[in-house]
Amino acid sequence: MDDREARMALCCAVEPGNLEVTAAVDEQGAEAVLASLREPGSRSRWAARAQAVDLAAVHRATRRNRLRFVVPGDPDWPAALDDLSTGEPVQKMGGMPFGLWLKGEGSLAAVAERSVAIVGSRAATAYGQSVATDLAAGLGMQGVSVVSGGAYGIDAAAHAGALAATAPTVAVMAGGLDSTYPPGNASLLHRVAGHGLLVSELPPGEHPTRARFLSRNRLIAALCPATIIVEAAWRSGARNTVSWANACRRIVLAVPGPVHSATSATPHRLIRDAEAVLCTGVADVLELVGPLGRQPPSRPDQRSWVDRLSADELAVYEVLPGRGQVDAGEVSLRAGVSLASCLAILDRLAEQGLVEPGPDGWRLAGERVTRTGD
């Protein structure tokens, strides 16, 4: 049995996000952990399930449903998921999945690299659904894929918006990909599989459970550089996804709405408590997750300006590279300044002519300054 087979068996034997087993796999490898679970005297709670796994049947079900099974190290494996297992956050993060079943043609790694999660209530309002659809379509047209959970309400609106823009979209499911849940979204999820990807860490035949929905949320949060919460009750799955996203140090955005709307109370509270950045549209998202690449002017001598900056302003200014543009989310991380402060500081620096927003992020406003020094 090789690593891939062992990981498939672990997916069948162990509930998603079990920290004990994922930590053991990180340390000893999948084959050793599976072998120890299968030892006759094993006292693990997963021993019976591990011994009962029929891998041949799982392979048959995988083929029959036209699924792929990918594991860490495969080209399709998204590097972002490593954040679920590295270092101290492992205690909170529920661990990396042992493997993932995929349905659809695309590369999950490529799609996830430039993606945004859009999450929210099943019991969404027409307002929330229209915002989710517009955001997803607008992001799709900018080449940003939308990841969500395939549920009714905000999730469905987000997938539909991405599909309307003929952009790939990813639905991360809490059960096996042989059936679609919820049943009312079967047609939508079929289209997602056709133009994007369905993803699950559970083998065909497994049904979603409450615990599996919560574990699934960590995958949505970890896959994407940013998560947008549109409408949600405080104790909702979407709120749980936001907690994962914050724990993964991902960018979190929240969409405001009418103050009388109960489903906007959670986004409002997240914004108020600085757990999320206010998001009114695609531009707010792209400012935070924009691509890198263009050639900016070289760093000019701005010593006299720099001397007047506060410590935080200097930190933000200094992390902007001599060449290239960086999105505000990245600036915030590198400078160690909260996102909200970072945005305010970038605006102040822009007012002083030190930096400027470019098409692909923030950059030094070097050319202009050099010219005024002529």
Closest approach of a second copy to the CB of residue 249, in Å: 16
355 close to 331: Cβ distance less than 8 angstroms: no
Distance of CA 212 to the CA centre of its chain: 17
* Chain residues that interact with a second copy, rule: CB under 8 A: 127, 131, 255-260, 264-265, 268, 271-275, 277-281, 284, 338, 340-341, 343-344, 347
* CB of 134 or CB of 367, closer to a second copy: 134
User: What's the angle, vertex CA 198, arms to CA 197 and CA 202, rounded to 5?
Assistant: 145
Closest approach of a second copy to the CB of residue 261, in Å: 9
Closest approach of a second copy to the CB of residue 317, in Å: 17
Closest approach of a second copy to the CB of residue 291, in Å: 21
Helices 311-319, 328-335: inter-axial angle, 10-degree rounding: 120
Q: How many CA atoms lie within 13 A of 86 on its CB side?
A: 8
Helices 328-335, 339-351: inter-axial angle, 10-degree rounding: 110
Q: What is the DSSP string of 82-97?
A: GGGTSSTTHHHH----
Closest approach of a second copy to the CB of residue 215, in Å: 24
How many whole angstroms separate alpha carbon 369 and alpha carbon 299?
10
Give the C-alpha distances (Å, rounded to integers) separating 303 from 123, 238, 342, 356: 54, 46, 21, 18
* CB of 193 or CB of 337, closer to a second copy: 337
* CB of 196 or CB of 267, closer to a second copy: 267
* CB of 6 or CB of 349, closer to a second copy: 349
* CB of 56 or CB of 126, closer to a second copy: 126
User: What's the angle, vertex CA 249, arms to CA 246 and CA 250, rounded to 5?
Assistant: 80
Q: What is the DSSP string of 60-71?
A: HHHHHTT-EEE-
* CB of 15 or CB of 134, closer to a second copy: 134
* CB of 3 or CB of 275, closer to a second copy: 275
Closest approach of a second copy to the CB of residue 285, in Å: 12
Closest approach of a second copy to the CB of residue 265, in Å: 7
